[in-house]
Amino acid sequence: MKKLKWILLVVVAIIALVMFVGMPYMKEQTKKNSPQVTNAYTKNGMDLSVTYSSPSKKDRVIFGELVPYDVVWRTGANEPTTFTTGSDIKVIDKTLPAGTYSFWTKPGKESWEVIFNSEIADWGVTILSGGKETTRNPETDVVNIQVPVERTSSIQEKLNIGFEEGEQVYLIVSWDQTKIKVPISK
């Protein structure tokens, strides 16, 4: 009985060590390779921001390999990307109420599915899947749209998510030689 108590105590100590030392250390190490970035847009009556972790290409094939086609992606590294709007906006023709959302995409060769979800998961992928399965709950999707893919002539080394002004405001996602533009209006 005494031996069982010691074994239980050691197991609890190991679990506590992993949770309170190992996990924070792992998160810190991954952020060195994929630093956190926040980009904001505050014009035309809109107050928008996006926060994400920006991985690098590092001579890898990004879309279709590192980021598989037709599979939901947390759109960045580490924690899920978040998108915040201070007021109700339109994403193409769908209303996105003021608030903070997790931002997910499903890359395809010709178009991407773009998803704004009301839940913000801790890490974005399951550890047991080796990062291949997301923690997104599809039942809490708020806006889900399709946008076309643009090919760029130059290679972009780091993932960039930000805002671009043209005939309207766009939330852009670009990496490697791929870019999408998500139209946003008031």
**Residues 168-174: what's their mean pLDDT?**
97
- pTM given for the model: 0.80
Residue 32 has pLDDT above 70, yes or no: no
Q: Please state the φ and ψ torsions of residue 2, each to the nearest 5 degrees.
A: -65, -35
Q: What is the tens place of the pLDDT at every residue in 114-166?
A: 999 998 876 565 555 455 666 778 899 999 999 999 999 999 999 999 999 98
Residue type, 22: G
The pLDDT score that the predictor gives to residue 13 is 64
The pLDDT score that the predictor gives to residue 29 is 47
Q: How far is CA 15 from the centre of its chain?
A: 28
The pLDDT score that the predictor gives to residue 31 is 52
Number of H helices, E strands in the chain: 2, 9
Q: Please state the φ and ψ torsions of residue 98, each to the nearest 5 degrees.
A: -50, 140
| DSSP at 122 | S
List residues bridging with 179 in a β-sheet.
150, 174
The pLDDT score that the predictor gives to residue 78 is 85
27 or 113: which leads in pLDDT: 113
Length in residues, the chain? 186
